[in-house]
Amino acid sequence: MRNSMTRTALSFAVASAGLLGFAGVADAAPSACTTSNQGAGGSAYCAGGDGLFRVTITCRRPNGAYYFREGVWRAPGLQSHSTAWCDGDNSRVTYIGVQKRNL
């Protein structure tokens, strides 16, 4: 009888933990994201979801050296763009990405 009660209590605890673990799944990361290359900079926009997003760019200097820049974190929605620029030494964007995080 005692083993049965222990197993039942353990099963309940595991099931409860599983349900609580899925509670955070409802928080959707930013979605419907697009990027734009402006030559010496880049921007990102996310139309939906929750959380935050920002643009990340890789820049290349005229001498061939690469470096990175990041825009500010923004919440998705209308008029919410994250923008980053390369240094003013004729550097050009070689890659644009979007980082996302849930709150």
> Residue 79's pLDDT is what?
83
Which of helix, strand or coil describes residue 38? coil
pLDDT in tens, 35-93: 999 999 999 999 999 999 999 999 999 999 999 999 999 999 988 899 999 999 999 99
Measure the CA–CA gap between 27 and 92, rounded to whole angstroms. Answer: 36
For the record, the structure tokens of 16 come out as 């409860």
Query: E-assigned strands of the chain?
Result: 31-37, 41-48, 52-60, 66-70, 81-85, 92-101
**How high is the pLDDT of residue 27?**
67
Of residues 68, 49, 46, the one with CA closest to residue 59: 68
Residue, of 36 and 22, whose pLDDT is higher: 36
Q: In the structure encoding, which two tokens stand for residue 22, read together?
A: 């899925």
Rounded alpha-carbon distances, angstroms, from residue 6 to 13, 77, 85: 11, 50, 61
Phi, psi of 16 (to 5 degrees): -65, -45
